């Protein structure tokens, strides 16, 4: 529920770019028939880290009759976990130019939207777009952003229930979140979900990878029983290191993306991100055929996956309840 430009272009230069008219109309129907449509793919990670979701999106396009370099092309830009790069990368795509920008996550949406309020933006996954301020409603977003969205508060409750089922004596948890930019909507939803379960939640902000070790030392010092890791492209980039620190400090954790579990994390529960990217192709298809993004409802996830790493559980001294193993979609041994 997953993308380089240095040095960053100054804000004034961005405004000049905008004034220069590097935008396409909201409705793709205004474009000439038979053209080669251009998708700007603004990725959170890098080509290797994001291969699964990138390929799922391409598959979705093929299923709808879009053949690369025949009737559609994809222009890639990668943030490599650096959220502050999104506006500059979006500006590059606008100069290409492209007919639509595909993004994932609140920070990417806001970065692209900072550069254009007219070019269609499709988010393969994001939190509540209404709370984030770029949709009037889920059913009728208005503006230039649409796509697929997760109600994070509901997801957080389920994730924490699974975590407490795995570690029954959990009383204190640390909520690890990326602090640049702070996503108060997601953090507050996590804190609320923790309180509802009678847990004492302690938010720990991590600015970059160098802060991770210190965050784990703080969690250990405060005798945290478990860890809840909030979604972040920066964490995705360093997920192997994060998992290693969790084992070193014997801190069981739950994540949203199964990529963490594949690289040593304990468990994950969240939407099938590949399915999200595949489904986002249908938005591209409809917009290229004339639909306005503001008229296309945000869709909700239909498929969630529980993945458990038994090797990591053993290293943490945990026994996973049989009932949880039976519900798991994948168990890594």
Q: Which residue has the higher pLDDT, 132 or 136?
A: 136
Q: Which residue has the higher pLDDT, 36 or 31?
A: 36
| Residue 186 contacts residue 152 (beta carbons within 8 Å) | yes
Q: Please provide the distance, in angstroms rounded to a whole number, between the alpha carbons at the two ends of the chain.
A: 24
User: Model-level pTM?
Assistant: 0.81
Q: Could you tell me the residue ranges of all domains in the chain?
A: 11-150+274-295, 152-271+304-332
Split at pLDDT 50, 70, 90, the class of 127 is confident
C-alpha 249/C-alpha 169 separation (Å) is 17
Q: Which residue has the higher pLDDT, 48 or 103?
A: 103
Residues 6+ apart with CB under 8 A from 163: 170, 173, 226, 228, 252, 253, 254, 267
Split at pLDDT 50, 70, 90, the class of 47 is very high
- The yes-or-no verdict on residue 33 having pLDDT over 70 is no
Fold equal for 11-150+274-295 and 152-271+304-332: yes
Best CA proximity match to 97, nearest among 112, 116, 75: 75
pLDDT reported for residue 25:
41
Q: Which residue has the higher pLDDT, 232 or 314?
A: 314
Q: Specify the CATH number for 11-150+274-295; select among 3.40.50.2300, 3.30.9.60, 3.40.930.10, 3.40.309.10.
A: 3.40.50.2300
Give 67: exposed, middle or buried? Use CB within 10 Å, 0-12, 13-18, 19+: exposed
- The yes-or-no verdict on residue 303 having pLDDT over 90 is no
Best CA proximity match to 219, nearest among 231, 210, 207, 228: 228
Tokens at residue 37, please? Answer: 């449509």
pLDDT reported for residue 179:
75
C-alpha 100/C-alpha 41 separation (Å) is 9
Per-residue pLDDT, averaged over 285-306, amounts to 94
| Residue 241 contacts residue 312 (beta carbons within 8 Å) | no
Q: Which residue has the higher pLDDT, 321 or 30?
A: 321
pLDDT reported for residue 18:
40
pLDDT digits (tens, 9 = 90+) for 171-220: 999 999 987 655 777 888 899 999 999 999 989 999 888 899 999 999 99
- Within the chain, residue ranges assigned H as helices are 11-19, 51-63, 86-95, 106-115, 129-132, 152-166, 184-196, 212-221, 233-237, 239-248, 258-262, 273-288, 310-315, 322-327
Domain 152-271+304-332 has CATH 3.30.428.10: no
C-alpha 267/C-alpha 264 separation (Å) is 9
pLDDT digits (tens, 9 = 90+) for 231-272: 888 888 899 999 999 999 999 999 999 999 999 999 999 999
Average pLDDT over all residues of the chain: 88
Split at pLDDT 50, 70, 90, the class of 6 is very low
Peptide bond preceding 7: is omega within 30 degrees of 0, i.e. cis? yes
């Amino acid at each position: 529920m997953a993308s380089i430009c240095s040095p960053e272009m100054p804000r004034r230069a961005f405004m000049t770019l905008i004034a220069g008219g590097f935008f396409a109309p909201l409705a793709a129907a205004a474009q000439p028939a038979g053209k080669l449509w251009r998708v700007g793919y603004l990725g959170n990670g890098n080509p290797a880290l994001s291969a699964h979701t990138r390929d799922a999106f391409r598959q979705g396009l093929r299923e709808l009759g879009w053949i690369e370099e025949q009737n559609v092309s994809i222009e890639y830009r990668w943030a490599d976990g650096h959220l502050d790069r999104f506006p500059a990368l979006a500006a590059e795509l606008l100069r290409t130019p492209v007919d639509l920008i595909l993004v994932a996550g609140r920070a990417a949406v806001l970065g692209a939207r900072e550069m254009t309020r007219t070019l269609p933006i499709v988010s393969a996954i994001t939190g509540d777009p209404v709370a984030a301020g770029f949709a009037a409603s889920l059913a009728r977003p208005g503006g230039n952003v649409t796509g697929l969205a997760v109600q994070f508060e509901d997801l957080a409750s389920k994730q924490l229930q699974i975590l407490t089922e795995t570690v029954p004596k959990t009383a204190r948890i640390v909520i690890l979140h990326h602090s640049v930019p702070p996503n108060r909507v997601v953090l507050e939803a996590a804190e609320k979900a923790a309180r509802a379960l009678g847990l004492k939640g302690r938010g720990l902000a991590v600015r970059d990878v160098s802060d991770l070790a210190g965050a784990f030392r703080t969690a250990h010092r405060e005798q945290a029983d478990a860890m809840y890791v909030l979604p972040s492209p920066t964490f995705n980039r360093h997920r192997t290191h994060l998992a290693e620190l969790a084992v070193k400090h014997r801190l069981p954790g739950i994540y949203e993306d199964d990529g963490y579990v594949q690289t040593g994390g304990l468990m994950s529960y969240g939407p099938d991100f590949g399915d999200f990217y595949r489904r986002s192709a249908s938005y591209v298809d409809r917009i290229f055929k004339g639909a306005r993004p503001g008229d296309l409802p945000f869709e909700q996830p239909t498929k969630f996956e529980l993945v458990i790493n038994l090797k990591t559980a053993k290293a943490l001294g945990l026994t996973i309840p049989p009932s949880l193993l039976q519900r798991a979609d994948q168990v890594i041994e």
